[in-house]
Amino acid sequence: MGERSGDRVLEARIRGGVVVSELNHLSESLLSKGFGERDGGNVRYMDVEALYLVEEGWMRVVDEDGGSLGFNELLRILGARSPNLWRDYVVYRDLRKRRYVVKEGFGGELRFRVFERGEYGEKAARYVVAPIYEGRDTTVEKIRRWMQVCRSMRKELILAVVDRRNEVIYYKASLVDLRNV
């Protein structure tokens, strides 16, 4: 994308609580980089994608009255229906800054599918990321269930722990058979 001025900024709207843009050369360029999903003649963006694109200056989101929404206002609107939006956004932004393509995961807690660098569009996602806040209880049983789901899909489970400073620490989860140790 590089250029972020004038006609190089994608214009999107919020429709029914979802950020959507028309399918055009700018949205096609973003699709090729793993942003958004085709939806007929439009492109639909995850909340975290829209926030990231706005923060990076690649997208401008307008409300129903045609007014431009800044990052904080968009966060407030989208966050009203998603209590973990900030946590998820922090993880999404960190993964994108590390040059990973990040797509919607498999339900609430298995939040993201993450593709190896350079493999988006060629291979399936390798990782499933479960964001959690530092200091919040998560049971071993819950992590075991997540691992079973990931193994059934041939994906690796990554726990993304968001600390109080909004820094993300990643842990790869794996099963250990202690009977043979």
Distance (Å, whole) CA 101 – CA 181: 37
- How does pLDDT run across 63-79, given as a tens digit for each residue? 888 889 999 999 999 99
Distance (Å, whole) CA 89 – CA 166: 10
Q: For residue 150, how many C-alpha atoms fall within 13 Å in the half-sphere facing its CB? A: 28
**Architecture of the structural domain at 85-180:** 3-Layer(aba) Sandwich (3.40)
Distance (Å, whole) CA 15 – CA 22: 12
pLDDT at 41 over 60: yes
Ranges of each domain in the chain: 6-79, 85-180
Higher pLDDT, 90 or 66: 90
Q: What is the DSSP string of 157-177?
A: EEEEEE-TTS-EEEEEE----
**In terms of C-beta density within 10 A (0-12 exposed, 13-18 middle, 19 or more buried), how is residue 87 classed?**
buried
Share of the chain above pLDDT 90, in %: 76
What is the C-alpha radius of gyration for the chain, rounded to an integer number of angstroms? 18
C-alpha distances in Å from residue 69, one per residue of 65, 163, 179: 11, 28, 56
- pLDDT score recorded for residue 175: 76
Give the H/E segment covering residue 137. Answer: none
Instruction: Name the CATH code of domain 6-79 (choices 3.20.20.120, 3.40.1170.20, 3.30.750.24, 3.40.50.300).
Output: 3.40.1170.20
pTM metric for this prediction: 0.90
Burial 129-163, CB ≥16 within 10 A → b, else e = bbbbeeeeeeeeeebeebbebbeeeebbbbbbbbe
Give, rounded to a whole angstrom, the gap between the first and last alpha carbons of the chain.
52
